[in-house]
Structure formats: C-alpha cells, structure tokens
C-alpha cells in the first residue's frame, strides 16, 4: 500500500527542516524521510566506539580523490556542524569559476540574499561574538595573527553561550542543546504544525505518477547495521523536495533517470569541496609564553587543544574582492576531535607525509599543544559522480559511518594553487619567531576531504552548467526541488551553513506557488519558528512512525 502526502521531503538538515517548517505551517501535509536515526540529547556521546552516537550520526564516504564527511541523523548536517555562521562575501556571487561566466543566477547577489540571511539569523538565532566569548584556541589564533601583522575576528555562531560548557565536542552533537541545530528551532516547529518525520528511511529513487505527481521509493534500514534493509515502501507526493546533501541528492536523481527521463547535465557534476584544507601546527609552549606573553594559571602557555568551542576566530584578510579569483580564502581556527584528525594530521618538517611511525608518535605526545587551521579557498568545481551504487549513496564498508562512493575528484591547477597560497599564509603566520611548526594534512590516505560538500545539483541561469532553475526546481522535471548544499553554485570561501539556510528560506515562496498549482491548500508567510515551539525536549519523545506499524 502506498502512502500519500502533499509534500515529501528527503533529508532533515538545513534544506529539509526549513522547507518542512514553512510548508507545514502553511497548511500542507508534509512528510520527511531521513536516512539516519533520531538521536536524543542525552544519547550524544563523545567517543569513537562502534555503535556510539559518533559512528551513528556521521556519514563518511571515501571517493576517488575526495572524501566527504556529513550528517546521518534527524537534523542532518546541522547536528554535526560547528555552528559558525558567516555570510558569504559579495565577490562570491560574481565568481566565474571554470565555466567562464557568472556561476550564480543573475537574480541572486549578496544584497538580494541579505533579507534571507536576516531571517535565518533571527530564527536560529545567530550570535555575534566578542573577544570574551572566544575559546583558548581562538584567542591564541587571534594573538598569532596580530603578531604577524594580520587581523582576526570572532566568528558569528549559532550557539547559546549560556548553555555552552566549553566541552569542544559540538561536532559530535551537543549534549546541552547549546548548539542551535535544526533540532532546536525549525524541526520542532515543523512537527508542531503537523509535519511527520520518519527516521531510518533511505530514499532510493523517484518515479512519476499519471497525475503528474511523484512516487518516492525507500528502504527502511537497520538501526545498528546500516548495511541491512528490513523492508521497503513508497509514498506518493505532489511536490518532492530533495535535501539529502550534496553527496546523496545527485545519486538519487541519477538512479531515478531510468524512470523519470533524462536528467539535466548538471546533476552529479560541478561538485565543490568548498576548497577546503586543514593545517596542524604544533605550538612551542616556551615561545608562546616568551613572544606572545600568554600563560595560564597552571603555568602552561597554551596546552589547551581540548578546551573551548569549535571555530570561534577567523582571519579574513584574503576575503578581498580586488584579489584575483583563486587567491581569496579564509583561515579559521578549528578544533577537530581525535580519531581521523589524529591520523591525517602531519608531522611538520618532514620531506614526505607521515601518518604513522616514530615521528608521528612523538607529535601525538604533544596533542594538547596542537592548533588546527581550517582553510576555505576557491576551487574549480571539478567533482563528478559516476554510476550510482545499487542502494543508498555509497557502498557500505562498515556497520556504520563508512562507505565507498561514486565521486571522482581530480583537483585542477587553479584549485591546487589556492591550497598552496592558503598553506603558505598559514605557515607565515604560525611559524613567525619560532612560535610553531606547521604542516598540511595529507591527501594520501583518503584524498582531499571536505566537511562542506557543495554544488552537485546547482542553481544557475545556464542550462548547460546548472541542474536547477534559479527557484531551485529541477530542470525539465517540474515539481521536484533541491534545497540542500548541492544547490549552492560553488565554493564560498567561508563556512556555508548560513548560505545554505538562506537559500532554503528563499526557495520556499516558489515551492508554495508550485504546490498551489498542483492543488495543495498551502500558504506562505509563517513567522520565525523561534516562538512556535517550546523547544526540542517536548518533541523528541514523540513516537517514531514507521511504515506498516
């Protein structure tokens, strides 16, 4: 038996939760299918044990030349993001990239997107930090930038500092609801208006119904072993919104091509890793004390890698529109938890990468004096998705978290040059006067890597290089919309969550109009979700709805 709904949304991150709220509040029957589990606040764990929340809520997919780290739970990427919420610089919207013309739709500029940024900022809300809010690592990065003649700025964040305990594990889900994920605003507000959330439902493909609507085909996956499927089902919808992330949305569409007809050329092409790269510095504690004059009560100058929040301070000196394309980037202090970060962090000063061995062992002994710098540069959108796997977005290698995906990424000279410039800037800031030694993470193990995959089904004016119309509707397939990170045209040089959310907000009026034209009784104009619900705690204990139950 096939269920029916007005609007079917695939994924519950920024792109899924924001659209779910507005459409449910406007009167539509909304169903959200989420591949991952629904994890309660008290279930978030800060360890790496198999079966813990850490391995359950992440999706780490190794491609050919690029690996993607994303969310896999109700709330999606918003549960595992670092809550840094800067707006994209104006020059980003004028980028040409590799296609020789403006990548973004002509109707979208920084000025035209600002009202939607404002709406997101109000809804989460986003907090403009001052220097009293920053972490130990953020303060040290600010001091290092100042010492080398650069500037530094506290980053805007979606964090309630009255609840934050400085545990520095926000990437693994916040146990204290201090991080303003979709679980604390849009999603509970959507549920309060009748939206239905179905976790552990992995969408496989779409087919078209005779009435012009769509049938969404899904598998229900096991809560402990994601390689196992218990049953399958279908749901009919008048509107489908894909928000499964830049690593999964194009795979669903590619798998649907046999039934729906030819997909736009841009589906599964022009993928961007947001130009991301990581450098790890090992601080010389004596020099930090002598040169910067920093010390703590216990006499240590820093030795505080584990204390504080995620990113709190950024260097934006190179976010200068007068610079040539591919020479613009940001440098952001970042705490990356142990595990993969410890493996990929490199020993400074060696001729070749050493991700294990005696030198690495000695480096790890000094882990509390590490400072990790996150670089967001401009790349060439060179990623391409190959043949989809039989199910899901990847071939599952392990019980949870790890998969092998169809993405191929061969960085161009432009991308490599941007990385090199950012590496050189990091080295100049961090190694001045012997304060630290620094080395980039290796690409040898899992290729390049990104925590912010973008652009695999991007919006644009040009049908040859964009999968979506400027209103986020899939070209040649009316009634299908994409509102996640895959819709962003290219690298942003800053954390992309704020822009993804703003674009999702901007897409809603057009989706409402399309739903109305298909007979859905829905309106647009709901207020900020901030006042619509008492919060996550009253929602999380609702029974999980599973097809057939």
Q: Is the pTM of this model over 0.85?
A: yes
Q: How confident is the model at residue 356 (pLDDT cuts 50, 70, 90)?
A: confident
Average pLDDT over residues 226-247: 97
Annotate 110-151 with DSSP letters as a single string.
HHHHHHHHHHHHHHTT-B---GGG--HHHHHHHHHHHHTT--
Of 155-159, 169-173, 279-283, the poorest mean pLDDT is in 169-173
Give yes or no for a cis peptide into 125 (omega within 30° of 0).
Answer: yes
CATH of 3-518, one of 3.40.50.620, 3.40.50.300, 3.50.50.60, 3.40.50.410: 3.50.50.60
Q: Tabulate helix, strand, coil % of the chain (nearest 5).
A: 30, 20, 50
Q: What number of other Cβ atoms are within 10 A of residue 358's Cβ?
A: 9
The span from the CA of 17 to the CA of 20, in Å, is: 5
**Res 263 pLDDT > 60:** yes
Nearest Cα residue to 219 out of 231, 228, 211: 231
Nearest Cα residue to 333 out of 348, 359, 363, 312: 312
Q: Tokens 């929602």 belong to which residue?
A: 539
Q: How confident is the model at residue 339 (pLDDT cuts 50, 70, 90)?
A: confident
**Res 207 pLDDT > 90:** yes
Q: What number of other Cβ atoms are within 10 A of residue 351's Cβ?
A: 5
The span from the CA of 330 to the CA of 103, in Å, is: 20
Report domain extents, the chain.
Answer: 3-518
* 285 three-class SS: helix
Nearest Cα residue to 220 out of 209, 207, 235, 208: 235
Q: What percentage of residues in the chain have a pLDDT greater than 70?
A: 96
Mean pLDDT, the chain, as a whole number?
A: 93
Neighbour-count burial of 120, counting CB atoms closer than 10 A to its CB (0-12 exposed, 13-18 middle, 19+ buried): buried
């Amino acid at each position: 038996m096939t269920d029916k709904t007005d609007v079917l949304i695939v994924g519950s991150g920024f792109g899924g939760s924001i659209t779910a709220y507005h459409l449910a509040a406007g009167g539509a029957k909304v169903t959200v299918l989420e591949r991952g589990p629904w994890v309660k606040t008290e279930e978030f764990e800060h360890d790496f044990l198999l079966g813990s929340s850490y391995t359950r809520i992440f999706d780490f997919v190794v491609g050919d030349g690029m690996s993607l780290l994303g969310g896999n739970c109700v709330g999606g990427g918003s549960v595992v993001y670092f809550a840094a919420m800067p707006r994209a610089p104006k020059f980003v919207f004028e980028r040409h990239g590799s296609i020789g013309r403006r990548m973004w739709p002509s109707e979208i500029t920084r000025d035209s997107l600002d009202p939607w940024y404002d709406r997101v900022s109000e809804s989460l809300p986003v907090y403009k930090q001052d220097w009293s809010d920053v972490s130990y690592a953020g303060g040290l990065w600010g001091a290092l930038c100042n010492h080398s003649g650069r500037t530094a700025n506290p980053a805007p964040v979606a964090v309630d500092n009255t609840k934050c305990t400085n545990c520095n594990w926000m990437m693994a889900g916040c146990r204290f609801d201090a991080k303003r994920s979709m679980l604390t605003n849009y999603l509970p507000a959507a549920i309060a208006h009748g939206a239905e959330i179905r976790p552990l439902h992995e969408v496989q493909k779409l087919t078209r119904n005779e009435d012009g609507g769509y049938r969404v085909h899904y598998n229900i996956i096991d809560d402990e072993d994601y390689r196992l499927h218990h049953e399958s089902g279908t749901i009919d919808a008048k509107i489908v919104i894909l928000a499964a992330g830049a690593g999964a949305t194009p795979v669903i569409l590619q798998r649907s091509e046999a039934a729906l007809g030819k997909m736009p050329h841009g589906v599964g092409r022009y993928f961007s890793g947001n130009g991301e790269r990581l450098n790890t510095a090992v601080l010389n504690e004596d020099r930090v004390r002598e040169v910067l004059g920093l010390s703590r009560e216990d006499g240590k100058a820093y030795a505080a890698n584990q204390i504080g929040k995620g990113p709190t301070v950024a260097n934006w000196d190179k976010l200068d529109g007068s610079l040539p394309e591919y020479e613009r980037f940001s440098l952001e202090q970042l705490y990356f938890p142990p595990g993969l970060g410890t493996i990929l962090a490199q020993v400074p000063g060696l001729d070749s990468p050493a991700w294990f061995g005696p030198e690495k062992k000695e480096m790890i002994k000094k882990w509390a004096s590490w400072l990790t710098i996150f670089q967001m540069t401009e790349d060439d959108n060179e990623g391409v998705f190959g043949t989809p796997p039989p199910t899901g977005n990847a071939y599952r290698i392990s019980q949870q978290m790890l998969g092998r995906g169809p993405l191929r990424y061969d960085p161009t000279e432009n991308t490599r040059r941007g990385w090199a410039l950012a590496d050189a800037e990091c080295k100049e800031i961090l190694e001045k006067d012997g304060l630290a030694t620094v080395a980039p993470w290796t690409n040898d193990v899992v290729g390049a890597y990104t925590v912010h995959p973008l652009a695999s089904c991007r919006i644009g004016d040009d049908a040859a290089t964009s999968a979506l119309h400027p209103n986020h509707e899939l070209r040649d397939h009316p009634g299908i919309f994409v509102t996640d990170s895959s819709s962003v045209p290219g690298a942003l040089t800053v954390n992309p969550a704020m822009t993804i959310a703003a674009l999702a907000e901007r897409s809603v009026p057009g989706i409402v109009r399309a739903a109305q034209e298909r007979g859905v009784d829905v309106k647009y104009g709901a207020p900020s979700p901030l006042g619509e619900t008492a919060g996550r705690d009253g929602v999380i204990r609702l029974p999980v709805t599973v097809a057939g139950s």
